[in-house]
Amino acid sequence: MDESELVVHGIRSMFEPHSAVISVVAYRTAGPAPLSDLTLYDPSAHRRTAGARGVPGRFPTRMVAYGWDCSPEAVSTEMSRGAAGFVSKWLPTRRLIWNLLQAAEGRVVVDAWTGRGEPTRPTNDTWALTHRETEVLSMIASGLANREIAEQTNLSINSVKSYIRGAYAKIEVTSRSQAVLWAIQHGLLMSPNTEPAAPRMVRPVGARLSASA
């Protein structure tokens, strides 16, 4: 919302490899609000233009603060004004997408990493997926339906469902959106023309989301 052309194009460039699950539309408050799941806004820019009124209440989507100032005071101020989350402009792409998918799921997300040191990995879990389960999860995260997965892997639809059930049990999720979030969190989101990595016993590193900026 009301971001510069530089910022909008930068975010689009970051998200383009993951266009199966997230897209960006520019939003000027002088015009009609676009159809989106989340609206990102820069708290400092909004205070300059709106006289410190905080998050506007007339927008139909969840408002998520997206700024450089990640001090406890800045985060607390925006959350008290009704923001559904606060994410830092310092965040790398994968971590930012993971946070936005969490927010779109209805969770309150605060990730105020300031660029100093490495961002904390979301979990320290391990997993033991087979190569086929990893492949199917990657395809789910890329937005493919079960029938499309069956066509691309030359599996029957029942085999695909069986691999999905097995993968869900191992990663302890119960829905497709949760599986997408898990894939984002653990680095299994496939870019176009990219083969999923073979599963490893290692420390690991959700539906299409539209965010207006």
Tell me what the pLDDT averaged over the chain comes to. Answer: 77
Rounded Cα distance between 97 and 90, Å, is: 13
More confident residue, 56 or 24: 24
CB 188 within 8 A of CB 137: yes
Domains of the chain, first to last: 5-111 (3.40.50.2300), 131-205 (1.10.10.10)
At 59-112, the pLDDT tens digits run 567 899 999 998 888 888 888 888 888 999 999 998 899 889 888 888 878 888
CA distances from residue 68 to 72, 130, 134, 136 in whole angstroms, order as listed: 12, 40, 35, 37
